[in-house]
Amino acid sequence: MKRNKILSLLLSVSMLTALTACGSQGSDAPAASTAAGSTAAATESAASSDNGYVLDKVTLVVDGTFNASVDAYQDKFIEQWDVAVSEALGHPISLNIQQLDHSSYVDGVGRLFASGDYPDVILLNASQYAEYAKTGLLWDMTDAYDNAKFQSHMVLPAVNQSVRIDGRQYGLSTGLGGGCITYVKQAWLDAVGMKAEDVTDWDSYYAMLKAFTEQDPDGNGKNDTYGVAAAGFIGSEAPYTNYLPQFWQNAYPNFTYDGNGVWYDGFNTQETKDALLRLQQAYADGVIDPESLTMGTKDVREKWWSSDQSGSFGAFTYWSGYWNDNLINNMDKNGVDSGLARLAPIAEMDGYLNRESPVYCIIDDGDGDDSREQAIFDAVFETMFDGGTVQTLWVYGAEGYHWSTEAETIVTGEGTDNAKTYEYKDGEFHLRLNPSDPSALWKKNAIDPSSMICSLENGFESASDLTKECNEFFSEHSVDAPHSASCDAITNYGGTITDAKNAVIADVVVKGGSVDAAMENYVKTTQNMVTEILEQLNAK
C-alpha cells in the first residue's frame, strides 16, 4: 500500500470538513431487555476468511453523527452489539468505538492517520473519501459489496453505485446523502406582512431578508435582528453552497464538470463572482449576520432558537428530514414561536443540492491479503444490514435505553409548561427520552431510518409525519450535487487553494473590495496548481 502519500494528504487536510450537522440524541432508560429482531441474515457470514483468519475485535472511528455518544448510552450499544454479532458469527468479537470531536473531526482523522494508529473502520465525508481513496489506505470492497448477503433486501441500490471511484468501491454509504432546505420563521413573516409563497426569486428573497433586518420582526423595539445567518459564507465540504443557496444560486465554487464531462474550476467563474457580489451586498446592508464568517453549525442553531431573539435571524437553510422536528422542538422548549414555513427554491436556482453520502471505510493493512478486511466487512457491514437485531442497533440504538417495546408512560419536558405525555402498550415499538435533553424523544442513532439502503424487516418505524413531509419536500425540490473531484494534485494542493478562496471571500464580502481584483489574485496564486489538477481530472 502506498503509505508515502499520507504525508502530502495530511498537509492538505484543511480543505476537508467534518460530516453534516448533528446533535447527540438519547434517552433515560431502564435495564436493557432482549434485543428485538433476528441476526439470521448475517449468521452464515462469519467474520473469518477461508484460510482460517478469525477476527476478535473491531476498532471503529466516528464523529458526532453517531448519536449514541459516551453520554448517550454508547456503552449499552457496544454491549448489545458484542452479544448480537458474536452470536451471529459463532465466536466472540468486541467493538471499540473512538468518537472524535465533531467540530474538529477532519483534523482529528489527520492526526490519527499521521500517528500510524489506524482503526479497522472509519467514517469519512465525501471529500475525505475522495482524497483518502487515492492514498491506498482504503480497502477496495467492490467484490465484497457486490456479493454481500444484505443485497437481498436492498431498497436503494443507486446510493452506493454513486460513491464508486473509477468503478471501484472503497466505502459503504448507509443511506441517501440528503440536503438542506430554507426554513423561515412564520411569526417573523407575519410581523413584516409577507408570505413564504410570495418569495419566488432573488428580489423577493432579498426583500424578505431586508424586512427581517429593518422592521423589528421580534417586536422588542430594537434594531437587532438579521435576515439570515450561516455557518460560513462558503462551505469547505461538498456541496459547498448548501447553507446559503439563494446567494450562490447555480454557482459551484469548486472543481466541477460541464455537460460533456470536462472538468473546470468552478470558483473562477462569472457565476461565483456574481454570488460573491450578492454576499458583499448582504454584508454591507447588514442583512446577513457578520458572525457567519466564523460561526459553526451549533452556534447558528443556538442563535436561531434562542429564548432571546435579539441577534437572531429569520431565514435558516439547514438539513431537511428530522431536523424539521428538531428545530420546532428546540424553539418550543425555549418559548419561541415554532411556526415554520419552507421556501421553495427561488427561480434562479435549479434546486436544493442533494449531497454525496458519507461512507464507512475499511482500512487496508497493505499486506496483499484480503482475509482480514473481508472478515471486518462480514462482522461490521453484513450485520449492520441484517434486517433485524444489529441493524436496529445502528438505526435506533440500544434496546431498553434508546428504544423499547415494553408498556410504559413517557413524559417529555416533565415539570414544564411544554410537558407532553406518551402512552405505549406492551409490544409497541417506541423511542425513549433523550438523556441530554429530557424535553425530547430520541430520534435515531447512526443510520437515518427514513433513507437507509436496506429495509429493516422487524416493522420498527419512527419517522414522524413531519419528517416524512419534509423529506418529500426536499425530494421534490432537490437536484444531485456534482460528484467530488479526486486526483493526486488535489491531494497535494487542495489546502492552498482553499486558503486562496477564503482570501477572496474576506477581501470581497467582508472588506467590500473589488471582485475582479480579488479573483485576479486568486488566479495568480493558484494557476499552476489548478492547471495540474485539471490536467489530471480530464485525463481520466
- Give the model's pLDDT for residue 50: 52
Specify the amino acid at residue 190: D
Query: Which of 84-98, 215-229, 483-497 comes out lowest in average pLDDT?
Result: 483-497
Q: Output the pLDDT for position 486.
A: 82
- Whole-angstrom distance, CA of residue 295 vs CA of residue 288: 12
* 92 and 170 in a common domain: yes
Q: Please say if the pLDDT value at position 37 is more than 70.
A: no
Same domain, 127 and 201: no
Q: Provide the Cα torsion 299, 301, 306, 311; round to 10°.
A: 60
Residue 495: domain span: 180-354+482-538
Query: Cis bond leading into 245, ω under 30°?
Result: no
- Helices vs strands, H then E, count in the chain: 19, 18
**426-461, pLDDT tens digit by residue?**
999 999 999 888 888 999 999 998 889 999 999 898
Position 126 confidence tier, pLDDT thresholds 50, 70, 90:
confident
Grid cell, residue 278, equals 450578492
Write the DSSP assignment of 71-104 as a string of letters. TTTHHHHHHHHHHHHHHHHTS--EEEEEE--STT
Q: Which of 333, 301, 332 is nearest to 317 (CA)?
A: 301
Residue 505, C-beta contacts closer than 8 angstroms, at least 6 positions apart = 233, 234, 276, 279
What is the model's pTM? 0.70
**Same-domain check for residues 78 and 111:** yes
Shared domain for 320 and 373, answered yes or no, is no
Same structural domain, 270 and 249: yes
Q: Residue 172 domain-assigned?
A: yes
Q: Check whether residue 161 and residue 298 sit in a common domain.
A: no
Residue 217 lies in a domain: yes
Q: Within this chain, do residues 382 and 497 fall inside the same structural domain, yes or no?
A: no
Instruction: Output the pLDDT for position 252.
Output: 97
Give the tens place of pLDDT for each residue, 314-327.
999 999 988 999 99
| 135 pLDDT tier (thresholds 50, 70, 90) | confident
Q: Is the dihedral of CA 166, 170, 172, 173 positive or negative?
A: negative
Q: Where are the beta strands (DSSP E) in 94-163?
A: 94-99, 121-124
For position 284, which CATH number holds? 3.40.190.10
Residue 2 in this model has a pLDDT that exceeds 70: no
The residue ranking higher by pLDDT, 396 or 116, is 396
Could you tell me which of 189, 159, 186 has the C-alpha nearest to residue 174?
159
Nearest to 400 by CA among 73, 94, 37: 73
Q: What is the pLDDT of residues 75-96, one digit of tens each?
A: 999 999 999 999 999 999 999 9
- pLDDT value at position 262? 96
Q: Give residue 51's pLDDT.
A: 53
Mean pLDDT on 129-153: 94
pLDDT band at 40 (very low <50, low <70, confident <90, very high): very low
The rounded percent of the chain whose pLDDT value lies above 90 is: 70
Which of 83-87, 113-117, 229-233, 408-412 comes out lowest in average pLDDT?
Answer: 113-117
- Dig out the grid coordinates for 160 from the structure: 452506493
The arithmetic mean of pLDDT across residues 69-73, rounded, is: 96
The string of pLDDT tens digits covering residues 233-288 is 998 788 999 999 999 999 999 999 999 999 999 999 999 999 999 999 999 999 99
Among 130-139, 147-156, 263-272, 459-468, the range with the most confident prediction by mean pLDDT is 263-272
Tell me: do 162 and 221 sit in the same domain.
no
Q: What is the band of 540 on the pLDDT scale with cuts at 50, 70, 90?
A: confident
Average pLDDT over residues 414-433: 92
Chain mean position to CA 89: 31
- 467 in Cβ contact with 324 (< 8 Å): yes
Helix 488-505 and helix 270-285: axis angle, to 10°? 40
* Total domains in the fold of the chain: 2
Q: How far apart are CA 28 and CA 37, in angstroms?
A: 22
Angle at CA of residue 471, ends 431 and 473, nearest 5°? 145
